[in-house]
Each structure stands twice: as C-alpha cells, then as structure tokens.
Structure 1
Amino acid sequence: MTSQIAAGLLICLCATAWRMMRSLPAWLRLATGAVLLAGLTAAVVQMVGSPLQPVFVATGAAAVVWEQVVVAAWWLLAARLLVEVLRSTLFNRGLAAKGRLQGDLLAGLIYLAAVLTVVDTVLDLPIRALLATSGVIAIVLGLALQSTLADVFSGIAVGIERPFNIGDRVWLEGPIEGVVDQVNWRSVRIRTDGGDIATVPHSVAAKSRVINRSVPTPQRSDSVRIPCAASVPPERVAELVRHALLLSPRILAQPQPAVALVRIGRRSNEYEIGFAVASSNDLWHAKSTLLEQVLRQFRSAGVETADRPGGGATSEPDPASGSRRFLAIPLFHDIADDQRERLCRQALSRSLEPGDALFRQGDTEGSLFFVASGVMEVTRTVGARSSSLGRIGAGDYIGEIGLLTGAPHAATITALTPSDVLELRKEHLAPLLAETPHLMHAFEASARRGQALFDRRVAASVGAETVPPGQLLARIRDYFRVHHVRPGPDAHAARRHPAAQANSPPGGD
C-alpha cells in the first residue's frame, strides 16, 4: 500500500513538474525528469517487479487497475524523458535547422511505441485486433481529412527532399519570396521583405517551382536593360556603362559584370547589363544605383537615351558644356551670369591616366575640381593603413573647402580610368571676391549645403574634417584676405537677384 501511495504522489508530481518547467533550461528539465523517473521506477519494482514484464499480484479489480495505471505512467514518463533528451541533443543540432516536422515525427514515433507497449504488456490486449480496428478508423478519418492529410504527407516528402532549411531565402511560384521562418506539420511560413508572414501549405509547395537563393551561395545575379540612341557607337556605350558599374559599390567585381547589345532599332538600340550582388538584400539598391549612374554618365557625355525626331545624339562631350555644368554646382548659384562666364573661360582642363593622382592627402593647392569624365577612387591614410572611402565619377566636384580656405585635403584622389577634370584655382576666384566681397556669405552657405547633399557623401569627405563647424566664413576671409563685410540690404538683394551684379566692375582675368 505504501508503494502505491508513493507512486500516486510521484505521478501527480511528474504531471505538475513537466507543466511548470517548460520555461526552465533544458538541463534542469532533464535532471528533474531523471530523478522523477528513478523514484517512479523504484515504486514500480516494489509493486509489480520489472516494468518491462509486470506481474500484477494485487487483490481486487481496483488495485489491479491502479497498478496498470502506474506502469503505464512509467512508460509515458520514460518516453517523455527520451523525447526531451533528443530535443536537447539531436533536435537542436540537426533537425531544428530543418523545421519542426522531423522532430515532431520522431517524437510521435516514440510515443506511439510507448502506447503500443502499454497496450501489449500492461493491458494485455491483442495488438492485431486493435490495429484492424484502427485501420477502419483511419479510413474514415482519411476521407474526412483529405486536404489536411495531403498537406501532412506532402510535408513529409518536402522534409525528406529538403529543398530549403530554416533561414534560407526562397522563391516560390506564385510568386512568394522571403526567408523561411518555420516548417510545421501542415505548412511552410515565409517572412517576406515587407515583414509579412506568408503561409504556404505543403501540398502547394510540393507542386510549385522552388528557387533557393541561399544555396550554394547567397550571391544573386540579375540584369537590367537600357535604351540608347542608335547614333552612339556601342563601344562608347559600353565604356560609359563600365564607368557606371565602377560607381555602384554594391555590385561585385567577381563574377565580372558585362554589357551586351541585345536589340538594334532605327532610332535606339537596347543594351543589357549583367551583374551580381552579395545577397538579395542588396539587389534593389544596386539596381537603383546602377541606373542612376548610367543616366548620370550619359548626361555628362552628352549621350541621349534615344534619338529625338529631327535630331541626333552626340557621342563625345562638349568641353564648353562641361564648363557650364561645372559652374552650375551649388557653390556658384549666387554669382552673376557674366561672372560665371568669366570663371568658365578661366577653368583649366586636366587629363589623367589610370593610376595618376589628382591630388594627395595633405596637399594645399587650393583648387576646386570637377570630374567631366572617368572614375576616380577616394582613399584616406591613417597611420600606416590606407582605406577606400568610395568612388566619384562624371558630374562630381571636389575640393570646395580647399578652394575657399586653403585647408589641406583629407584624402587622396586617384584615377581608375582615363579621366578629364576641370580645375578652378584660388587666383581665379580672388578677383570675384574682391569686387563683390559679400559673396563670401553665399559661398559659405553653398559649401555647407554641398557637403550636406546625400549623393556627395564621398566627395564631401575630402574636406569634411578640416574645418570645424562655425569657422568656415572666418577661414574664407582670412584665406582671401578680405576685410569683414556685414551683409546689408544690398547683399541680400544680390542673393535674391544675382543678375543685379552683372554691371559690377570687371576683375582681373
């Protein structure tokens, strides 16, 4: 009687402990389960001998039933402890990466074996008759649950084939694309790029085309098509596209990007650009950057995307047009038209070959540079270590802080491709500030505005560290040795109407 009471207390304790310890660490659950199983084993041995071949010697039907309940509870507790051991070892290391389905199947087989053992050794029921009865029940349930069972068995097939694992990025016909978040008995849950959860039944996933974008590597290849005027030579287009690829930091150098002529038309041809990125997360940003850079290169080179009726497209940039684009930068927004034209004529042209340095970190030549064509790399040296800050291309300008203050450049600029650069020096700007000194305020505001532009992050870093905030205007006055001028009403009017300064006395060219 004492062993029966102890067994009942242990069974109640087991049921309570397993429910309360779900949030505890695995090792603590395993230790507690082992202790409870050892205690229940001692009680079973005293009552019926071995739980594998129990001998029920109690008198009275109620006592025999209780002994059977105790032995059945021992088998269920042993099965539960085995499942916990597997979940803490095999499931976590291997099966967890493949989803819940495989783990649940193995746990179900363990519980099924324990139940069949209880039916055979404890309840002494004929297994064959039970299996025949369960077969009839299975047929009835199968007819009622055809759709659910199709998902379950399709899930088993998907689990065996394993076209994807938890955490893989997949594309399913539909289309659905995202990261596999969970694989359960009935469906696959995919977290899309928009943050939604798409639930795809296994029966649908088994019939769909699946692309695993994480295997064998997460690299993603894609292409974009661009039109260009038929009058532009294909080799010129390929050169400009290669410059645009160099200016797209998320596009990988290997595998090497390529450009091909894919369609010829009367007015425009079509080109396809193939490239690769490190992962799917970089794809849309890389596409956008590439198209922006292609458009920028075409505009800087005077290339039209398509021939206009009655006109054509130029394949070489116009030098005068490059100078005008140079002086259209924010720094010169507030000067008069004749002053802009004068600076346009004074701008110097420089050509660089790959490997040539436009200027080096620490140089103080005080010049502003405008990249008319080509691609250059910006590098900075700290101690003995040199690192790349990025690349600049046609349409970028650099060195405005050095031009206005004489501050040393904070980086080195090196040509990656044959490049053409326009240069404006201090001696070109000094006469303009001498005749209209209030323009210093406009230059200060324009320089700050140019450095704050998002798409000039790399170019602005050349001089961003050299002038502390609030000291730029004073540095401009000191560098050009112009006395302090307080901006009065005439200065504000000149900012609003720059053309009003057109009749100012000419300075020295």
Structure 2
Amino acid sequence: MTNTAFRTRWRVLIPASLALTAFLLIAALAVPLHALMGERLQAVLTVDLIRQVASSLALFAGARLTMLILRQRLQLRNKGHRPVPKVVLDVISAVVYTLVAIVSLSLFLRDDLSGLLTGSGLVLAVLGFAIRNVVADVFSGLALSIEAPFRIADWIQIETLGRGRVVEIGWRTSRLVTQDSTYVILPNSQISRQKITNFSAPRAEYRDSIEMTLPAEIPVTDARNLMKLALRGVRSLIADRKSEIHVLRYSPQGITYRVKYWVPRHDREADCRNEVFCAIDRTLRERGIRIAMPPVGAMPEPEVEEVPGAREPA
C-alpha cells in the first residue's frame, strides 16, 4: 500500500473510531456525568436518557466505521479488476443503517416499537404501490448487480435498446457510452427484459468475421493462401490466435469465403474489420485479382398511380 493510500485510509477511519470510543465512554460514565450536571439539567437529562442517546450515537458511529472498513476491503480486493457495482455497496449501507435505526428506536420506544413498525409498514405499502415503476427499476438494478450479466467497463449490446461500454450501474438506471461517445441512460427494468450480449465476458477477446466473394476461376487453395498471407500483416489482430478461412457458398458471381479472426476487445472491432478488408484487398490487387461483384440488374420502371376520375388521353 502506498503512503498516499495509507494516509487516505486512516484519515477516514480515525474520526469514526474516535467518535465510537467517545460515545461508548459517555454511555459507561452516564452516572458520574449526571452527578456533575445542575439540577435543571438533571431533571431533563436522566441517567437512562444519557445512556440511550450515547448508545444510539455509538451504534451509528459503529455502523459508519463498519461501512468504511468494508468499502476499503472491497476496493483493495478488487484493485486492478472490475470494480464492485455501486448499487451493491448502497444496498449493504441501507441494510446496515436500517438495522441500526431499528435498534436505536427500540432503546427509546421499547414497548411502543411494534405499533410504530406496523404503521410504517402500511405507509410503505401505499408508497410502494404509487411508485411501483420506480420500485421495479430498483429491484431490477439489484438483480442485475447480484447476477452480474455485465459489470462496469464491459462492452455490451442490449437488444432493441443499444450497445456501448457500461460506465455505471445505478439504483434505477444503467449508463452506457457508445463507440460514438454518446451517453445512453437505460431503465433497469427494461434491461432485465431484453437479451443481453456481453462482448467482454468471459474474456475481452472474441472472434469476428467478414465475407468476401472471389471469382470462381481462382482455386480455393490459392484463394485461402492469399487471404492468410494478407492477414499476417494486420497488426491489430491477436497474434497468437489462429485465423480461419472457410468456403461459405458457390454462386454465379463466384465463391464466397468467410474469414474469421480474433479481435482484442470490442472497441477495436471496427478498426480490425477495416484493416482486414484493406489488407486482403491490397494483396488481391497486387496479384491482379478483382473481387467479384453481383450483377447490376435493370432498374424497375416506376409504377404510375392511377388518379380516380382521370381519363386516358384520346
């Protein structure tokens, strides 16, 4: 751990630790503190009230210290890897602070706590029905974070919605940046109902392909050797991954080949495809071979729409 990271870590943890220690001391020394107060303060601040307030504050300080340590652990464990989604940390924080709040209320209300929780449950049920779409987005975001079909920095394609690199997985929405640097915000509930293609998992590299049609006069073996020779000069492809060339079909225009090659990551796909086309085209032209083109048929004559009531000229 570097000195800067060490100082940042303890600059955050020390205040929470001191606050927790201070509140625990106040709760333990409630009786001496109450004796030092004046008569008016003693009538307002009883020993039990001092202990309850100090204990409640100590619980929140302990929760804060716990979350800080947990965030530090997760960041250190995932250093150099894909970061933990923000929504997961938010859910953990919400659960911890909710439990602390319930325990704190139990210190003050005791027997009245059950009635308060019942009334709060009814209010939450009404609010949940009113904002059911928001609730659906939130639970979908939580499910996406737990199941993790994609993570931050992954390149994904969401059917009918868009394609891009994931920059944030939030409570209600997930945010993508496309290859054209367009910022796309998508509701989580819509993402969960669509087909998701992850181009970065389980590995960043994957195989792409192009199709080319060459004249039938060129033997298949010669055509494949020429295209393999052209691919050797494409530096953007993964060098230790073998490219493949297969005959796809025969047609009146010639023989169609499918060239399969390995792309290092999704944002390089367009560049790799462009370089593959250029390399094969250059190699073929140097040997006087022209890529076969489909025949251009006659343009169909436009249909004349009849106008009601019109008569043909005499």
The TM-score, its normalising length taken from structure 2, stands at 0.78
1-structure distance, mates of 2:88, 2:197 = 22
1-structure distance, mates of 2:76, 2:120 = 33
Q: How does 1:189-208 map to 2 (within 5 A)?
A: 189-208=175-194
User: Paired residue for 2:108, among 122, 130, 134?
Assistant: 122
Q: How does 1:11-410 map to 2 (within 5 A)?
A: 25-47=8-30, 60=43, 62-64=44-46, 67=50, 68-90=52-74, 92-93=76-77, 97-174=83-160, 176-306=162-292
- Evaluate the alpha carbon distance shift between residue 152 and residue 92 of structure 1 in structure 2; reply closer, same or farther with a 3 A threshold: farther
The unaligned stretches of length 5 or more in structure 1 are 1-23, 50-57, 310-509
Give secondary structure in 1 for the equivalent of 2:164.
Answer: strand
- Evaluate the alpha carbon distance shift between residue 242 and residue 94 of structure 1 in structure 2; reply closer, same or farther with a 3 A threshold: closer
1-structure distance, mates of 2:293, 2:149 = 48
Give secondary structure in 2 for the equivalent of 1:25.
Answer: helix
1:16 counterpart residue number: none
The offset of 1:70, in angstroms, is: 4.2
Count of aligned pairs: 277
2-structure distance, mates of 1:149, 1:285 = 41
Give secondary structure in 2 for the equivalent of 1:204.
Answer: helix
Letter paired with 1:177:
R
Letter paired with 1:63:
L
The unaligned stretches of length 5 or more in structure 2 are 1-6, 33-40, 296-314
Tell me, yes or no, if the aligned pair for 1:173 and 1:210 is still in contact at 8 Å: yes
Give secondary structure in 2 for the equivalent of 1:264.
Answer: strand
Letter paired with 1:40:
F
Structure having the higher Rg: 1
- Evaluate the alpha carbon distance shift between residue 223 and residue 175 of structure 1 in structure 2; reply closer, same or farther with a 3 A threshold: farther
2-structure distance, mates of 1:83, 1:252 = 42
The offset of 1:272, in angstroms, is: 1.3
Measured against aligned partners, the alpha-carbon deviations of 1:197-236 in whole angstroms (never above 9, x if no partner) come to 3222221221222222222221121111112223333233
The offset of 1:125, in angstroms, is: 4.4
The offset of 1:94, in angstroms, is: 5.1
Tell me, yes or no, if the aligned pair for 1:219 and 1:280 is still in contact at 8 Å: yes
- Evaluate the alpha carbon distance shift between residue 245 and residue 185 of structure 1 in structure 2; reply closer, same or farther with a 3 A threshold: same
The TM-score, its normalising length taken from structure 1, stands at 0.50
Give secondary structure in 2 for the equivalent of 1:171.
Answer: strand
The offset of 1:137, in angstroms, is: 0.9
Letter paired with 1:42:
L
- Evaluate the alpha carbon distance shift between residue 102 and residue 307 of structure 1 in structure 2; reply closer, same or farther with a 3 A threshold: closer
Letter paired with 2:71:
R
- Percentage of pairs with the same residue: 23
2-structure distance, mates of 1:30, 1:257 = 53
Measured against aligned partners, the alpha-carbon deviations of 1:273-302 in whole angstroms (never above 9, x if no partner) come to 111122223322221111112212222222
Q: RMSD value over aligned CA atoms?
A: 2.7
1-structure distance, mates of 2:14, 2:293 = 79
Tell me, yes or no, if the aligned pair for 2:213 and 2:293 is still in contact at 8 Å: no
Tell me, yes or no, if the aligned pair for 1:238 and 1:259 is still in contact at 8 Å: yes
Measured against aligned partners, the alpha-carbon deviations of 1:421-448 in whole angstroms (never above 9, x if no partner) come to xxxxxxxxxxxxxxxxxxxxxxxxxxxx
Give secondary structure in 2 for the equivalent of 1:193.
Answer: coil
2-structure distance, mates of 1:307, 1:280 = 30
The offset of 1:83, in angstroms, is: 1.7
Tell me, yes or no, if the aligned pair for 2:24 and 2:54 is still in contact at 8 Å: no
Measured against aligned partners, the alpha-carbon deviations of 1:319-370 in whole angstroms (never above 9, x if no partner) come to xxxxxxxxxxxxxxxxxxxxxxxxxxxxxxxxxxxxxxxxxxxxxxxxxxxx
Measured against aligned partners, the alpha-carbon deviations of 1:97-142 in whole angstroms (never above 9, x if no partner) come to 2211111111111111111111112332433222221221111111
Structure number with greater CO (CA < 8 Å, separation at least 6) is: 2
Give secondary structure in 1 for the equivalent of 2:110.
Answer: coil
